Structure 1
Amino acid sequence: MFFSIIIPLYNRPQEIDELLETLTRQTYTQFEVLVIEDGSVNDAKDIVASYANRLDVKYFFKPNEGQGFSRNFGFERAKGDYFVIFDSDCLIPADYLEIVRDYLFEHQLDAYGGPDAAHDTFTPVQKAISYAMTSPFTTGGIRGNKKHIGQFHPRSFNMGVSREVWEKVGGFILTRLGEDIEYSIRIHENGFKIGLIPAAKVFHKRRTSFKQFYKQLHFFGRARINIYKHFPSELKLVHFFPAFFVIGLGLTLLCNFIYWPLAWVCNFFLLLFFVLIFFHAWQVNKSIKIAFLSVVASFIQLTAYGLGFIQDFFKRIIFKQS
């Protein structure tokens, strides 16, 4: 099996340097790498060229269109039997392709996704953000794991599709705002088999500050409404959880000013929720500092996602704005 690894890139030369370095250590070596520079001002052409002697790597520069259409650009030029998509802020374990190859030969998936995790070299903030995005107490509980709700939807930071999928279904029709979920829904509707490869994890750095993390999760909340506009049946009750959290938080603050008995109950359950997150994060990361930061990251994740979800729910569903 020959893999084509496709990486869209936008103004992140340092990230692609770190990612390509991890790909030089792959134990399975039947692969090529296509780096698609999406109209960057700060390009990585020289960095990618420095790996020419260690990787079968190709560099392309195109006008800015967003990550979805940049992946399509790579699909059109890929030689592989299977296309593997990574975000530029990922680090890839050395046995990743070997794990995927072995799993696909045994299970014959047409498309797959894998989980993400925090690397030992990540900063405490990055580890806290990683916890928030994978925790069972946040939306991480319904993403990228065996106990997902409904049809599994691979996420584009760690996703693969067969050449047959590309030839029949085509590529992304959205370039951002939930483009990976929309794509996986169409793959499923065309009769292809999609599955999770639990051991095919990547180390996903995501954002390096809470401010960046807030912006990203606000965008994710809006993306869920964008998916609903294309596939109304894909909006489940569980997707409202962050919005309910934001509404509950607002009511709790209001009760603290107007009705203390109810405020005491709300404050108790809110405190209990964050205590559970603290001790679970402490158990996962073995660090009190990261546990405290994980509480902050989880709060940001739920509020940012919830506010983005509420914003576009009213704008695009209630008021019918485009």
Structure 2
Amino acid sequence: MFFSIIIPLYNRPQEIEELLNTLTEQSYTAFEVLVIEDGSTLDAKDIVASFQSKLDIHYYFKPNEGQGFARNYGFERAKGDYFIIFDSDCLIPEDYLENVKNHLYNEPLDAFGGPDAAHPSFTPIQRAISYAMTSVFTTGGIRGKAKNAGGQFHPRSFNMGLSKKVWEKVGGFILTRLGEDIEYSIRIHQAGFKIGLIPNAFVYHKRRTSFKQFWKQLHFFGRARINITTFFPKTLKLVHFFPAVFTLFLIITLLANLFFEVLAPTFNFFLSIYILLIFFDSWSKNKSAKVAFLSIFASFIQLTAYGFGFMQDFWKKLILKNKL
């Protein structure tokens, strides 16, 4: 079984060096690596070239079109039986490909995904962000689970694989961003292919290194959910409204404290319970009071940034469009 690892890259040479270093340590070695530089002004050509003696690696530079179309560019040139796509901010455990190969032999899949985790070397903020993206108190704990909110498993593009047959029949990404991975997964499902989670095929996902960057990313994710809905209206589920509801709850709590003091204690009580649940849950998982404290901020950013992005495009693309 031969794998083609495809990595889109945009102005992140340091990240690709760390990722490629982890690929040199893979216990299963039947793979090639395709780095697709998507119009970067700060390219990684020399860094990729330094791995020529360690990896079967290929470097391509193309005009900037976004990550979805950069992956398509890689698909067109890949030789593998399976194509695996990683984000450039991932670190890959040494047994990743071994675990994928074994799973596919024992339980064949046409497309697959795996979970993400925080590496011990990550900063406290990165670990807090990882908690916020995987906790039952924020995302419902559905990331890295066999079924997502819509009842089907939708691999995410930071850690996603598909067979060459899927590429030949379904094609590639038709969106370059704003939920492109979920849209692609839905089309793979609709084409009758089998998609599944490989639980032990996890990656260490750095995500963002500051809360400001994290806010921008999650605001984008909220907008992406509505973008997917414009293609597949039935995929919008009640659970997708939770961040927006939480955001409205925070606004109402603030207003209650400013103008309706009689109601404030009730809202403050429920908010305090929620904060304590996040703190102690994160502490139990990360074994760090500092990370647990930062997890409160990360969780609130995760929910409110997504909530505002969701409400923004829900109004623009669904409400206003229906009125026109």
1:20 matches 2:20 = yes
Superposed CA deviations along residues 207-240 of structure 1, whole A, max 9, x for unmatched, are: 0000000000000000000000000000000000
1:267: which partner in 2? 268
Contact 1:178 1:220 in 2 (8 A): yes
**Which residue of the partner structure matches residue 280 of structure 2?**
279
Task: Give the whole-Å Cα distance in 1 for the aligned partners of 2:144 and 2:57.
Answer: 28
TM-score, reference length from structure 1? 0.98
1:130 is matched with which residue? Answer: 130
Contact in 2 for aligned 1:138/1:298 (Cα 8 Å): yes
**SS at 1:284's partner residue?**
helix
**Distance in 1 of aligned mates of 2:189 and 2:305:** 29
Counterpart Cα distance in 1 of 2:96 and 2:161: 12
Tell me if structure 2 keeps the 8 A contact 1:22–1:92. yes
Count of paired positions: 322
CA distance in 2, matches of 1:202, 1:140: 20
1:72-221 equivalences in 2 (<5 Å): 72-139=72-139, 141-146=141-146, 148-149=148-149, 150-221=151-222
What is the CA-CA distance between 1:147 and the residue it aligns to?
5.3
Structure 1 gaps of 5+ residues are none
* 2:147/2:153 contact within 8 Å kept: no
How much does 1:256 deviate? 1.2
Q: Aligned AA for 1:152?
A: F
- Check whether the contact 2:145–2:197 (CA below 8 A) recurs between aligned residues: yes
Amino acid at match of 2:22: T
1:46-88: CA deviation from partner (whole Å, max 9, x where unpaired) = 0000000000000000000000000000000000000000000
CA apart distance, 1:143: 1.9
How far apart are the structure 1 equivalents of 2:72 and 2:9?
13
Structure-2 separation of matches of 1:274 and 1:12: 35
CA distance in 2, matches of 1:162, 1:177: 23
Structure 2 alignment gaps of length 5 or more: none
Q: What amino acid sits opposite 2:23 in the alignment?
A: L
CA contact (8 A) 1:37 1:61 kept: yes
Instruction: Percent identity, please.
Output: 73
State the partner residue of 1:234: 235
Q: Is the 8 A contact 2:154 2:186 kept in 1?
A: yes
Partner in structure 2 of residue 53 of structure 1: 53
Task: Provide the C-alpha distance between the structure 2 equivalents of 1:201 and 1:15, rounded to a whole number of angstroms.
Answer: 18
CA RMSD, 1 decimal: 1.1
Question: Letter of the aligned partner of 1:255 in structure 2?
Answer: A
Q: State the distance in 2 between where 1:62 and 1:140 align.
A: 38
For 1:142 and 1:96, locate their aligned partners in 2 and report how far apart those are by CA, in whole Å: 21
State the alpha-carbon separation in 2 of the partners of residues 226 and 105 from structure 1: 36
